[in-house]
A = this chain, B = another copy of it.
Amino acid sequence: MITLTSDFGAPYPAAMRGVLRRRTDAELVDVGHDFPRHDVRTTAFWLREVLPYFPQATHLVVVDPGVGTDRNAIVVRAGEHRFVGPDNGVAMPAARRLAAGVDLEHYVVDETAVDPPEPTGVAKNSNARSGPASTTFHGRDVFAPVAAAVHDASPEGLRSLDALAPTDDVVDLMLPEATIDGEGDRAVGEVLVVDDFGNVITNVPGTWLEGREVILANGETIPTGPTFDTVGRGERLATVGSHGSVELDVNRGRGDEAFGLDVGDRVVLKSMPAE
């Protein structure tokens, strides 16, 4: 299986699908192509949360604000999973999780050793691309060809691919972690993402919420509950989201608007003081 992730919208992903299908029979599964444009961190979060549910696969990830610069194309092996994409850290949080404690292996791609796609009917000297890879669409011209080759090699066979050379020098990305004070009464974290429903997903571990029926979230008193319907329609609550961390939500409404919070904002959660 090859999964596809990008910030391309439409119809660029179709060109990647065409390139892949010419070279491999792998099942192609879209993770999504509407990730926020150039937003490496948000994409990294979602990959970390979604990909652990997949069987082993090659993950083609193209959120690449540096396309055409001298940033490398890389391949990361995480156990039975492999990632192909730009060297900007986007795959690292997911790769660490999928590796499940095994060391990651990193490879840098020698782009001159990649066979670029050969579009049908594109004559030389026409105004359509031919020859070397485009400078602006590496998803089609570099990453998709590499992903097809990586998929068709076994996880152990990456070293035998001519276009790949082992490296230890890759860009890492760590999603921020919340800090909890010694007594456990106070958690300081931040908003990692806001999902399509408006749920405010923080990095405070869900376990912090256990046993607390009401908390102070950025100074405001908020009930907690296992489900949205713990509170009335349109009311706020803190819950443990499907990612296992604390979410600030509104039952059938948008938490981001109700709490006035956006990605990267600081979140301070406190126990209610004893009376």
Q: A residues touching B (Cβ–Cβ < 8 Å)?
A: 1, 3, 8-12, 14-15, 17-19, 21-22, 27, 29-32, 34-35, 37-38, 46, 49-55, 65-69, 79, 81, 96-101, 117, 119-122, 125-130, 134-137, 140-141, 195-197, 203-207, 226-229, 239-245, 247, 252
Tell whether A121 pairs with B134 under 8 Å between CB atoms, given A22-B54, A140-B53, A228-B67: no
A23 shortest CB reach to chain B, Å: 9
Asked whether B127 lies within 8 Å of A203 as measured between CB atoms, the reply is yes
Residues of chain B lying within 8 A (CB to CB) of residue A15? 49-50, 53
Asked whether A98 lies within 8 Å of B120 as measured between CB atoms, the reply is yes
Query: Once the chains are docked, how many angstroms separate the CA of A9 from the CA of B119?
Result: 28
Query: Once the chains are docked, how many angstroms separate the CA of A158 from the CA of B100?
Result: 36
Asked whether A55 lies within 8 Å of B229 as measured between CB atoms, the reply is no
Beyond A52-B128, A136-B247, list 5 extra A-B contacts (CB 8 Å): A14-B30, A18-B53, A53-B119, A127-B244, A129-B243
Interface of A is mostly: loop
Residues of chain B lying within 8 A (CB to CB) of residue A29? 14, 17, 21
Tell whether A97 pairs with B120 under 8 Å between CB atoms, given A54-B22, A196-B9, A242-B140: yes
A106 shortest CB reach to chain B, Å: 18
Partner of A207, one of B53, B81, B127, B247: B127
Q: List 29 A-B contacts (CB under 8 A).
A: A9-B196, A10-B34, A11-B31, A12-B195, A14-B29, A14-B50, A21-B27, A22-B53, A37-B197, A38-B252, A52-B119, A53-B117, A53-B120, A54-B120, A68-B227, A68-B229, A69-B229, A96-B121, A97-B120, A127-B203, A127-B204, A128-B243, A128-B244, A129-B206, A134-B241, A135-B240, A136-B239, A136-B241, A136-B247
